[in-house]
A and B are shown apart, each in its own frame.
Chain A
Amino acid sequence: MAQNKRTPLYSLYHLYGAKVVDFAGFDMPVQFSGIMKEHVAVRTAVGLFDVSHMGEIELSGPDALSDVQKLITNDASRLKVSHAMYSPMCNEHGGTVDDILVYRLAFDRFLLVVNASNRFKDLAWISRHAKSHVIDRSDDVALLALQGPKALDVLKTVTDKDLSSLPYYGFDQDVRVHGRQCLISRTGYTGEDGFELYIDAADAMDVFVALLEAGQVEGIVPVGLGARDTLRLEARLPLYGHELTDDISPLEAGLSPFVKLDAKDFIGRDALLLQKQQSLSRKAAGIALTGRSIAREQAEIFGDDQVVGYVTSGTFGPTLQKSIALALLPPALTEIGQTLEVDVRGKKMQAQVVKTPFYRRSL
């Protein structure tokens, strides 16, 4: 088997007690001090994630905006320089190639941040459809996420700029952290306030260690992919390969606010228009189980003793202290309060459709 890839921070993991697992071909930390502890730290204080496995693809040139518009379902024409947006990227059938962040670096320059598992698929897809200059920067860029209510307090102590007025999904391309140049955006994947820092791979270790030291007073902990998953699931943020796939459309996944059917043409628009006209055959919904057992991915969901859908992601929500899951169901069964049964390893467990996000932070 080919050797897994490693992020520029790999050699630091063991110092913080990491358990390392394979994720999308990378040796990544699934946990450091423990999923629960890390989860709680992000909800109540602050946590630091190495997410350098994510891919970064840059599009530049006079055609960059029209290329992005063709590729994504959201409307990038409304994106100002120094702002980012979330968007699905669809295939011709309306299925989802990936869900990405689009950063407008300059009028004619965009940075697309893609899932690690989709990097090469996306690169091929984008190159096939784009007229602008496409560069894969993934190997040169490290990505850290500083997340939690104390993220700003920690960041303040190591930056040369005040980022307290940086708006949600705004970014600054020229911030020094501990003297190292970073692009910092007010984004994240946890449901908390927080920042993501794009750094030259060579500077990543310095910045990681500096942030952990600066955060000690606030109780910062390094966070692995295990808690990243429980945090995003409580906040009902989709994970590619689960809530979204080449066969699941963003409309089915409940992402219609990010699909601008009336604003412009894009790949997959006709298929999505048709889906919308014919009404969806399945739709994502949040469910909560009565017991504490976890309904994991692929668990079948029963209504009236018939299989009606399946779980796309499930976990035990550490903040909610409840077993929660996202599922694809017939739209008629997605009303809040609808009771269902989930097959958990051969046993039918009671569940109910609940309001999402499961967790929403108080302001």
Chain B
Amino acid sequence: MAEYPQELRYTQEHEWVKFEGDLARIGITSFAQSELGDIVFVELPSVGQILRLGDTFGTVESVKTVSDLFAPVAGEVVEVNESLNDAPEMVNSDPYGAGWMVMVKVTDRHEDQLLSATQYKEHVNE
């Protein structure tokens, strides 16, 4: 079943953001991974890439379909989850943990654009 951790912020495109100081950890939600099905490939940006809000920063490919990833905040990519190269299925098994995708040094949080857990849950159930 889909989960919506309270401490995370969400986008309408099904990314989650976890603010850690001036950093933001980003991944896709449990709902998103469940809709995509078995994920076989995650294409991530390079460290150093500058992202503006809404920029495409990667793709998630499942057996069924392929989906773009959209930047939920603005900033610079400082780390990517390299372990997804060999084990993309971690996005299915642990979307909010080991399946995280990128860490961004935030220049603009764009908080007004982000959803709370409750708002995201409503969005998903619409």
Interfacial residues, chain A to chain B (CB-CB below 8 A): 19, 30-31, 34-36, 226, 230, 291-294, 296, 315-316, 318, 323, 345
Contact = CB atoms under 8 A, between A and B. Distances in A.
Given A35-B38, A36-B38, 19 more contacts: A31-B37, A34-B37, A35-B63, A35-B64, A226-B63, A230-B63, A291-B41, A292-B41, A292-B88, A293-B43, A293-B66, A294-B40, A294-B61, A294-B66, A315-B63, A316-B41, A316-B61, A316-B63, A318-B38
Contacts of B43: 293
Interface of B: 37-38, 40-41, 43, 59, 61, 63-64, 66, 88-89
Contacts of A293: 41, 43, 59, 61, 66
Contact of B64 (A226, A292, A318): A226
B65 to A, nearest CB: 9
Contacts of A315: 63
Contacts of B61: 292-294, 316
Contacts of B40: 292, 294, 316, 323
Nearest to A321: B40
Contacts of A36: 38, 63, 89
A154 to B, nearest CB: 25
A345 B63 CA distance: 16
Contacts of B41: 291-294, 316, 323
6 contacts: A35-B63, A36-B38, A226-B64, A292-B61, A316-B40, A316-B61
Contacts of B59: 293, 345
A35 B66 contact: no
B46 to A, nearest CB: 15
Contacts of A230: 63
Contacts of B37: 19, 31, 34-35, 226
B38 A345 contact: no
Contacts of B63: 35-36, 226, 230, 294, 315-316, 318
A8 B67 CA distance: 34
A35 B40 CA distance: 11
B38 A30 contact: no
B36 to A, nearest CB: 11
A31 B41 CA distance: 19
A136 to B, nearest CB: 32
A316 B61 CA distance: 10
Nearest to B68: A345
Contacts of A34: 37-38
Nearest to B92: A34
A34 B88 CA distance: 15
Interface pairs A-B: 5 shortest CB-CB? A292-B41, A316-B40, A36-B38, A35-B63, A35-B38
Contacts of B38: 34-36, 318
A294 B38 CA distance: 13
A316 B39 CA distance: 10
Nearest to A31: B37
A161 B89 CA distance: 43
Most buried by A among B38, B43, B63, B66: B63
Most buried by A among B38, B64, B66, B88: B38
Contacts of A30: 64
Contacts of A35: 37-38, 63-64
A323 B40 CA distance: 9
Most buried by A among B41, B64, B88, B89: B64
A163 B89 CA distance: 39
A358 to B, nearest CB: 15
B90 to A, nearest CB: 13
A345 B43 CA distance: 13
Contact of B66 (A19, A226, A291, A345): A345
A296 B61 CA distance: 11
Contacts of A19: 37
B11 to A, nearest CB: 21
Contacts of B88: 292
A36 B40 CA distance: 10
A345 B41 CA distance: 14
A34 B92 CA distance: 11
Contacts of B64: 30, 35, 226
Nearest to B35: A19
A317 to B, nearest CB: 10
Most buried by A among B40, B64, B88: B40
A291 B43 CA distance: 10
B98 to A, nearest CB: 17
